[in-house]
Structure 1
Amino acid sequence: MSQPIKALCVFCGSSLGADSVYKEAAQELGGEIARRGMRLVYGAGNIGLMGVIADAVLDAGGEVVGVIPEALLKKEVAHQSLTELIVVETMHQRKAKMAELADAFVAMPGGFGTFEEFCEVLTWNQLGVHDKPCGLLNVAGYYDSLLALFQRAENDRFLRLEHHQMVLTADSVSDLFVCLANWQPTPQNKWIDRDET
């Protein structure tokens, strides 16, 4: 079994999306984070799925830590009722701080920022920068195309099988927590061709 998860970092959209199923999943995930006694770490927004999940954790009596760059704080998108709000100077510092505070990472549906944040923590795992579980909550098949791309990368030898297996995927909140709890870090060698040359 992996180490207990005390703080879960969630990446998700600053929009609600076109279907209410995304909001419902964010509410469910937030409630479950609080029920399990975990702390939510996220990007501090009060809009879209970011605001929904923060409110769900807070409404259920949980703790929420938001990390936001000063430039976004000035645009008044920061949630004003968080347990703790950490203001940093840059987006790079924001991601580094969230990674430092979290024991695991989950991506819900979102856009470019969500994709980038999730792939970055996966890459850090691949390179041995951290050994924390990384999960996709594949609400309504939202990430099916991304998962197909990862499979293509493995098939065409741009990605090792063991690195592909670092992507924990679940269609439901309950299955997601099972995946996170059962994840085991393994020694990684990023370079596919190094052993063959």
Structure 2
Amino acid sequence: MSDPHFSLCVYCGSRPGSQPEFTEAARAVGEWIGRHGGQLVYGGGCNGLMGTVAQATLDAGGRVVGVIPKALVDKEWANHACTELHVVETMHERKRLMAEHADAFLALPGGIGTFEEFFEVWTWRQLGYHDKPVGLLNVAGYYDGLMQFLHSTVEQQFMGTWQMDLIRMDTDLQRLLPGLVQDAGLAPAAQLEAI
């Protein structure tokens, strides 16, 4: 495969979750990345939503870069089918390498690891450490409660609306993913379907 048109870092669960819509969304995200000549950057596991998005990207012709700490190689079942699999020493190194390889970030449903990674890249963006788009795909209402809480932090004046404006949240991946690629400056709207 030639150089990817864009590189999307996806944070998601190493479990499939309780709703079939979660797996369907992970598969659809991977298919979209591959179909548009993109590259997936993710946590390097083959279980749960992580494995689903990676396999769907590969099946659709995309590149997959996995980054996994040694301590999690057995626990998360490192995915040796990745185009590139980086085994690193620490979680800090994992997150740094994932961020360096990404043009934009997307969180799918997941647990505490997904939350931590999403909040970190959002925080980095507000501090000016990067200016890469950050997206949240709200599948089957999974993030409704989180969004309600985040809006309450604005009401309680612990955050400003400008911080909320740094993330793009949607329930429709067909809107969200092109928007992230466009926000990264990699493809104008008129050209996105051509890549």
Do they fold alike, i.e. is TM over 0.5?
yes
| Coordinate RMSD, CA, aligned | 1.7
Separation in 2, partners of 1:111, 1:180 = 22
Partner of 1:128: 128
Name the aligned partner's letter for residue 14 of structure 1: S
1:80 paired with 2:80, answer yes
- Structure 2 residue 143 is matched with structure 1 residue 179: no
CA distance, structure 2, for counterparts of residue 55 and residue 111 of structure 1:
20
- 2:159 maps to 1:141: no
Report deviation, 1:175: 1.2
| Residue matched to 2:6 | 6
Tell me, yes or no, if structure 1 residue 108 matches structure 2 residue 108.
yes
CA contact (8 A) 1:9 1:102 kept: yes
Q: CA deviation at 1:181?
A: 3.9
Paired position in structure 2 for 1:189: none
Q: How does 1:39-54 map to 2 (within 5 A)?
A: 39-54=39-54
TM-score (norm 1): 0.88
Secondary structure at the counterpart of residue 68 of structure 2: strand
Q: Determine if contact 1:170/1:179 at 8 Å carries over to the other structure.
A: no
Task: Tell whether 2:58 aligns with 1:28.
Answer: no
The aligned counterpart of 2:58 is: 58
Q: Over alpha carbons, which structure has the higher Rg?
A: 1
2:99 corresponds to: 99
Q: Which runs of 5+ in 2 are unaligned?
A: 186-195
Change in 2 beyond 3 A, CA 1:112/1:76: closer
Find the counterpart in structure 2 of residue 157 from structure 1: 157
- Runs of 4+ off more than 2 Å: 181-185
Whole-Å Cα distance in 2 between the matches of residues 18 and 97 of structure 1?
Answer: 30
Letter in 2 for 1:96: R
Unaligned runs of 5+ in 1: 186-197
Amino acid at match of 1:125: R
Distance 1:55 1:76 in 2: 15
User: Matched residues, percent identical?
Assistant: 52
How far off its partner does 1:173 sit? 1.2
- How far is the alpha carbon of 1:183 from its aligned partner? 3.5
CA contact (8 A) 1:5 1:104 kept: no
Aligned length: 182
CA distance in 1, matches of 2:152, 2:37: 38
